[in-house]
Structure 1
Amino acid sequence: MDTFEQLLLRLRSQPLQLLQVSRLEGSGPREVGAWMAVGLDGFSLGSVGGGQLEFEAMAWARARLGGGERDTVSRRFALGPSLGQCCGGAVTLNMRYLPGPADPTMSEAECQVLRQSLTPAEAELMPVALFGNGHVGRALVEQLSRLPCRVHWLDSRSEDFPASLPAMVHAEHSEPVQRAVATLAPGSLVLIMSFSHFEDIELVAACLQRRRARDDLGFIGLIGSKSKWASFRQRLLGRGFSETELAGVCCPIGVPGISGKQPEVIALAVAAQLMQIWGDVSR
């Protein structure tokens, strides 16, 4: 369940105030568009920056909920000594009332408009193509579901995908799985972690061929050890790929310094690596 679905679920039991960063002057803790939903019972979802800013914003939201106020308002917070923060800038928050079960419910169209207002623009989302629906793949999707990205999840075993997927994940069965490489979105950060080494090497080869033809994949990462890559490397050289082309494949994957072979640990290290790469690409 993604955060927007969590928001809709909570609205079945209580009204909320929605806080969203509408303007940032100078340095601030969150970007324009960051949001937070606040309930009268202590419930909160999301974040507009933490610290004293968020503490005061939540108190403001709960006071308006308690007073039955439903109009949309804005408030500017200076991030200086008065808030006990030293960012030096200012944040303007918009506050919007979201109806609970006692109010007329939002229509489907209104829900879609709300979702769009709380979702980063498509160009700001990190495009991830994930091949493999094993333990690490599932753990990685869970990590990525909390990040601003869209995931194209592929496997040759169609029956293995979870029944329920986050909104930012599109699952696809492809047999043979490497055929799907040609259809990936340009700029995709590709992760290869299928159930077999045969599929893995075919996927790497397909990605290298696409780079040779179009040079539009942002990253090619292969799960495995240095010895696995040494074996793959020799076989790929035998297929005619150059040392320069093979240098564009990352194996092992994940940021260095995070040890552990549990799927959740690997997923954390890989998600961090993707965010580093995307940060460099999107600057």
Structure 2
Amino acid sequence: MSLDRRELADAVARHGTLARVVVAEHAGSAPRETGASMLVWPDGIAGTIGGGALEHDAILRARGLLAAGAPFARRLQRYPLGPALGQCCGGAVSLLIERIGPEELAAIPAEGVFARPVAPGPAAEPPLAVARMLRAARAGLGARPALVGDWFLETAGAPRTPVWIWGAGHVGRALVGATDGLPLAVTWVDEARARFPDTVPPHADMLVAARMPDAAALAPGDARHLVLTYSHALDLEICHRILSRPFGSLGLIGSETKKARFLKRLGELGHPPERLAQLVCPIGDPGLGKEPQAIAIGVIHALLRERSAAGESGITDRGHGT
């Protein structure tokens, strides 16, 4: 995950000074990985840190920070993910909530590592541990989002196309593996942490959603969706939710027979023919084979071709927030 300064600048131009909420640290099972972020302004939001009570509280705190009006305002908020937030996964997250306006935007690099204290005020001289990480990043060693003492570091990079992969089975895992190093912002969705591998690749943003179809409302309007869960009924409901809102593209794993059945049922649910024509099934290149890795190669090739034709995309608003 990386911070896109151009997307931030576009959002500030549209909505004025706003707040950015980023997962600065997580421990144990959490709905989003470190580096996941969302934007909040007085009457709207973009992105997600996982929804639910955690996101609701973060939105309220972000709007409170904006209302105070102080430049370079920041606060680090720690949350145990227990019953108080309607979650019993036993993990914990720390959220950095920071004001972003023209003055703050000027301090964010277009590329490289963006380091700042979690306390309010312009960044001063970084401590030794942070300075070492900055030197390593400049030497080409890269930097993952990290909370280092009282400082937070993340990489600022070029725009990436949002890709939502629904399902952590064999094909989902092959797809996520194939996206490593590509200009794609991958969100990987399934209904329980146990369905994912023990170690989720750092370039993918894991989203645990007990009711997966509800998570469709969290996706940006230009997201490329790949639906490949363990259940046809679940696939159908996810497709229904995606077709009910803006999206970039929609791919469904399966056969021509499955596609015909889905098109009939989705039509009965009220989706017009021109909308249904955007459903791609099967996905990938049949000539490459049916193995998960072969499907992944075909799908990624199509995604990159589509991205090249469409150009880079930015943050898409989710409308009014809580």
Name the CA distance, whole Å, in 2 between partners of 1:190 and 1:237.
19
User: Hey, what's the Cα distance between the residues in 1 that align with 2:137 and 2:242?
Assistant: 35
Give the structure 2 partner of residue 224 of structure 1. Answer: 254
The one-character-per-residue Cα deviations of 1:83-110 (angstroms, maximum 9, x if unpaired) are: xxxxxxxxxxxxxxxxxxxxx9972343
Secondary structure, aligned partner of 1:235? helix
Q: How large is the RMSD of aligned CA atoms in angstroms?
A: 2.6
CA distance in 1, matches of 2:269, 2:294: 34
Q: Any conservation in 2 of the 1:181–1:203 contact (CA below 8 Å)? A: yes
Output the amino acid matched with 1:170. D
* Corresponding residue to 1:166 among 186, 195, 201: 201
- Match of residue 168, structure 2, among 133, 140, 145: 133
Instruction: State the partner residue of 1:238.
Output: 268
Q: TM-score, normalised by structure 2?
A: 0.50
SS at match of 1:254: coil
Partner of 1:108: 133
Contact between 1:258 and 1:269, CA under 8 Å: does it hold in 2? no
Structure 1 equivalent of residue 302 of structure 2: 273
The number of residue pairs the alignment matches comes to: 173
What SS does the corresponding residue of 1:172 show, helix, strand or coil? strand
Secondary structure, counterpart of 2:165 in structure 1: strand
Q: Which residue of 2 aligns with 1:254?
A: 284
What's 1:194 paired with?
229
Decide whether aligned partners of structure 1 residues 189 and 261 sit closer, same or farther in structure 2, where only a CA change above 3 A counts. Answer: same
Give 1 or 2: higher helix fraction.
1
Aligned to 2:157: 121
Distance change in 2, residues 1:175/1:239 (3 Å) = same
- Residues 193-223 of structure 1, C-alpha deviation per residue, up to 9 Å, x if partnerless? 0110011000100000013xxxxx2111111
Structure 2, unaligned runs of 5 or more: 1-128, 144-154, 313-322
Greater relative contact order (CA < 8 Å, ≥ 6 in sequence): 2
**Paired amino acid for 1:271:** I
The residue matched to 2:244 in structure 1 has which SS? helix
Distance 2:167 2:259 in 1: 18
Question: 1:194·1:200 contact (CA, 8 Å) conserved in 2?
Answer: yes
Distance 1:156 1:105, change over 3 A: closer
1:55 alignment counterpart: none
Partner-residue secondary structure (3-state), 2:287: coil
The whole-number CA distance in structure 1 between the counterparts of 2:177 and 2:231 is: 22
Q: Over alpha carbons, which structure has the higher Rg?
A: 1
TM-score, normalising length: structure 1: 0.56
| Alpha carbons 2:289, 2:295 under 8 Å: kept | yes
Instruction: Pick closer, same or farther for the CA change 1:158–1:127 going to 2, 3 Å.
Output: same
Q: Judge conservation of contact 2:221–2:245 (CA < 8 Å) in 1.
A: no
CA distance in 1, matches of 2:216, 2:238: 7
CA distance in 1, matches of 2:223, 2:250: 9
Does the alignment pair 1:146 with 2:186? no
Report the secondary structure of 2:233's partner residue.
helix
* Amino acid aligned to 2:300: A
Preserved CA contact (<8 Å) 2:288 2:294:
yes
* Cα deviation, residue 121, structure 1: 2.6
